[in-house]
Structure 1
Amino acid sequence: MTLHLLLLLLHSILILVLASSSAIDPAQELDWEAAQRRDRVERLPGQPKTPPLRQFSGYIPVSRDGRRALFYWLTESTARSPHSKPLVLWLNGGPGCSSLAYGAVEEIGPFRIKANATGLYSNPYAWNKVANLLFLESPAGVGYSYSNTTTDTDAFGDTRTAEDAYSFLLKWFQRFPQYKSREFYILGESYAGHYVPQLAKLVHDGNKAASKTIINLKGFMVGNAVTDWYYDNLGIVDYYWTHALISDETYTTMKRHCKFTSVELSSECQRIMDYASNQEIGNVDLHSIYTPVCLEATWSSSTGRKSSRTAPHWNPLWMGQTGFDPCTPSYAEKYFNRPDVQRALHANGTPNNVPHPWTPCNYGILENWHDKAFSVLPIYKELIKAGLRIWVYSGDEDAMVPVTGTRYWIRSLKLPIVNRWYPWYYMDQVAGWSQTYKGLTFATVRGAGHEVPVLQPDRSLSLLEHYLRGKPLPKR
C-alpha cells in the first residue's frame, strides 16, 4: 500500500471515529430540550430591550474524556421568520483570538459593548438580521473554551483545531436538532482562512462517508484570509510598498532576501521585516492602516511595559451608527470577565472552570502553534469541485493579510472567469470590486480593514445577504 493510500485510509477512519464518538444513546435524545433550557440566555447584563432576541450559550465537550470543551454563543435571527433562516458558524483566527471579542461584539453580532463596559447597545447592522449566528471560541484555550489537560498546550495546531470543531458541530446539532435541516455555512476571517476550509473539508468528508447527510453544509466564505504562506507574504511586501509604508530601499531588500518558501522566515528576512516595522512603518494598526490606534494605555520606552496611566484616545471616526472605536477589545476584556456576565452566559462555572482569565487573544496559543499548513489551496480545489458555494472577500485597507496576496493565490488557481472585474454598489456608491470565477466569487470591500464589518458594517451586511442568496453583487 502506498503512503498516499494509507493516509487516505487513516483520514477516512478518523472521520468515522469522530462521527461515531458523537453518537448518544436513543434514550438521551429526548434530553435536548432540557439541554436547550439550561443553555438559554435570558438576558445579558446591560442588554438593551430591543431587539427581542433568543440566545443560547454553553459548553460542548470535544474530547473523549470530557476534559476539553468549546464554548459557543448562538444568537438567533431577528427576522420575521427566523426558523426559515440559515445557520452561520463564525470563527475568528489569531490563532488564539476569541470569536466573542471580535466577531460577536465588534463586528457582526447583535450587540456592541459600551466604552465603560457597563452595558451593551444594539448593532443596527447585525448579521443575525438575515441568519442565525453561532459563535465558537476555538481552539480550547481561547476565551471561555478550556482544557484541563496540560499536555494539550503542546498540541495546538490546524489538525486538532479542525477535528475539535467538527466534533463540536456533531454534538451541537444533537443538542439543537431543529437546525439539522437548515442550510449551514461556515464563515470567518484572518487565520480562520485555515480553520474554515479545513473544517468544511471534514464536514464534507463526513457527509460522504455516511449513508446520509449529517450536516447540511452549503458553502463557506472567508475574509482577509490567511491561505497560502508564499502568496500571502508576497502580497504583504507588495502592499507595504504600494501603500507607502516602507522605503524603496527596504522593499528592494525584502524582495531580495524574503523567499517565503517555508513557514519560518530566514534570519535576514526577519531582520529586514523587523527593521521595517520598528523604523519605517511606525505606530500604525496594520489591520486598518488609515484608522487611529487605541491610545487608552501608554507604553514606557525605557521598560517596554504598559504604564498605569490611562490617556483618552483620539477617535475622529465616530460616525453615529458605525461607531468605530479602536479600543473595543479592551472593553470586551472587562465585560467578559465580569462574574455576572459569566453567570448569564453559563461560562466559567462549576464544573466548567476555566483555568485562565478571559482575554480577547491568548498569545500563548500563537506561540505554541506547532501544526500550520503551508497552504490550504488543495482544499479549495477539492471543495470547488464538490460544488460548495465559496466566496472570498478583502477589506482593501488591511496590511496584515492584504488584498494583494489574496489576488495572487486566487490567480494561481487558474479558474475560468465567469464575470469579469466590475465595481459593485451599495446605496449608489461603489462598495468595492468583484470578479466571479467558476466555483469561486471574489470581492473587495472599499474602505474596510482586516475586520471588514467594523468600518463598513452596511456594505458587509449587503455582502452577506448576496452570498446567502447565491446572487452576484449588484453592478448598480
Structure 2
Amino acid sequence: MDRNEVGSEPYINLKGYLLGNPRAFPDEENFRIQFANGMGLISDELHKCIEGIEMPQILEPNCSAIVVPIELPSQMGVKEHHPLSSFYCPDELDSLTSVWANDAGVREALHIRKGSIGEWKRCPTNLNFTKILEDTRPYHLNLSKKGYRSLIYSGDHDMVIPHQSTEAWVKDLNYSITNRWRSWKYRGQIAGYTESYANMMTYATVKASNLFELLSF
C-alpha cells in the first residue's frame, strides 16, 4: 500500500485482505480462560489453563504423549488408498500438508514456476527474521481508513487464538455496526456467525473448526 501511494512499480491492485485466527496483540492467551470456561472445560473456580486438551481443536484427541507412526504416500503401495479422515492425530495431517504442497501436480495447478522455490515446509523454525511488531491493531485502523476491505475469521473450537480475543480487538476498533450479528449458511446449514462494520471489515466464526479446517473449508 505504501509503495503504491508513492508511485512505485509495479502497481499492485490491492482490494483487501483476510486473516484466519490471527494473533493481533500481546497477551491474547488470557482469553483462553474465558474460552475454556464458556466451553465447559473448566469451572468458574479454576483459573489456570488445563492440560490434556488439543488447543488448536478442542474436540480432537491430544496426541502429545503418544507416538503414532504415519505412513506417507511415498511409503504406500500405488493401489492403497488412505482417506484423510482415517488419520487419528492432527500432527499426522500436518505431515501430509508437506506431501501435498510438494507434489508436482499441485505445484503445476498453483502455477509455481519450476526451479523458482525449493521444498515447501509447514511452520519452519529456521527463518531468518527479527520480530519487531507485537500489536497489529493500528495497521488495521490505517488500512480501513485507506478503503481496504477485510475479512477476519475464527474457528470457534480453536483455543490457541480464542475467538473471544479476536472479537474483542475487532470491537475495540470502535467502528459502527452495519450488519448485526447473524448466522451464515453453507449448503443450507448454519456454518457460523458474522457481523459487519463501517470500516468495511467483516468478522465471522466458522462452527466447530480450527485454522487447519478453515484452510480446507
User: TM-score normalised to the size of structure 2?
Assistant: 0.74
The answer on 1:241 being equivalent to 2:47 is no
Secondary structure, counterpart of 1:236 in structure 2: helix
Q: For residue 78 of structure 2, what is the aligned residue in structure 1?
A: none
The answer on 1:226 being equivalent to 2:23 is yes
Q: For residue 288 of structure 1, what is the aligned residue in structure 2?
A: 57
The structural deviation recorded for 1:323 is 4.4
Deviation per residue, 1:431-465 (Å, 9 max, x gap): 1111111011111111211234357x2xxxxxxxx
Give the distance between the partners of 1:336 and 1:419, measured in 2 at CA. Answer: 37
The structural deviation recorded for 1:331 is 2.8
Secondary structure, counterpart of 2:202 in structure 1: strand
Aligned 8 A contact 2:84 2:93 in 1:
no
Q: For residue 207 of structure 1, what is the aligned residue in structure 2?
A: 4
Give the distance between the partners of 1:431 and 1:293, measured in 2 at CA. Answer: 25
Q: 1:379 to 1:298 in 2, by over 3 A?
A: same
Matched residues, number:
198
Give the distance between the partners of 1:425 and 1:281, measured in 2 at CA. Answer: 34
The answer on 1:406 being equivalent to 2:175 is no
Q: For residue 361 of structure 1, what is the aligned residue in structure 2?
A: 123
The answer on 1:417 being equivalent to 2:162 is no
Q: Which of the numbers 330, 343, 346 marks the counterpart of 2:114? A: 346
Amino acid at match of 1:441: T
Q: 1:311 to 1:424 in 2, by over 3 A?
A: closer
Amino acid at match of 2:123: C
The structural deviation recorded for 1:359 is 3.9
The structural deviation recorded for 1:379 is 0.8
Give the distance between the partners of 2:84 and 2:181, measured in 1 at CA. Answer: 28
Give the distance between the partners of 2:103 and 2:202, measured in 1 at CA. Answer: 41
Secondary structure, counterpart of 1:384 in structure 2: helix
The structural deviation recorded for 1:250 is 4.1
Secondary structure, counterpart of 2:181 in structure 1: strand
The answer on 1:385 being equivalent to 2:155 is no
The answer on 1:449 being equivalent to 2:210 is yes
Q: For residue 77 of structure 2, what is the aligned residue in structure 1?
A: none
Bigger relative CO (Cα 8 Å, ≥ 6 apart): 2
Q: 1:337 to 1:414 in 2, by over 3 A?
A: closer
Secondary structure, counterpart of 1:241 in structure 2: helix
Deviation per residue, 1:112-131 (Å, 9 max, x gap): xxxxxxxxxxxxxxxxxxxx
Give the distance between the partners of 2:15 and 2:70, measured in 1 at CA. Answer: 47
Amino acid at match of 2:37: W
Q: 1:379 to 1:364 in 2, by over 3 A?
A: same
Q: Which of the numbers 373, 396, 410 marks the counterpart of 2:133? A: 373
CA RMSD of aligned residues (A): 3.7
Give the distance between the partners of 2:16 and 2:166, measured in 1 at CA. Answer: 19
Secondary structure, counterpart of 2:21 in structure 1: strand
Secondary structure, counterpart of 1:414 in structure 2: coil
The structural deviation recorded for 1:383 is 0.8
Secondary structure, counterpart of 1:229 in structure 2: coil
More helix by proportion, 1 or 2?
A: 1
Aligned 8 A contact 1:394 1:452 in 2:
no
The structural deviation recorded for 1:336 is 6.5
Amino acid at match of 1:404: Q
Q: Which of the numbers 328, 331, 335 marks the counterpart of 2:93? A: 328
Deviation per residue, 1:44-83 (Å, 9 max, x gap): xxxxxxxxxxxxxxxxxxxxxxxxxxxxxxxxxxxxxxxx
Give the distance between the partners of 2:43 and 2:143, measured in 1 at CA. Answer: 40
The structural deviation recorded for 1:363 is 2.7
Q: For residue 107 of structure 1, what is the aligned residue in structure 2?
A: none
Give the distance between the partners of 1:289 and 1:390, measured in 2 at CA. Answer: 27
* Higher Cα radius of gyration: 1
Aligned 8 A contact 1:448 1:454 in 2:
no
Amino acid at match of 1:286: M
The structural deviation recorded for 1:233 is 2.6
Give the distance between the partners of 2:120 and 2:192, measured in 1 at CA. Answer: 36
Q: 1:445 to 1:221 in 2, by over 3 A?
A: same
Give the distance between the partners of 1:242 and 1:421, measured in 2 at CA. Answer: 19
Residue ranges of structure 2 left out of the alignment (5+ in a row) = 72-82
Residue ranges of structure 1 left out of the alignment (5+ in a row) = 1-203, 255-275, 300-308, 313-320, 458-476
User: TM-score normalised to the size of structure 1?
Assistant: 0.36
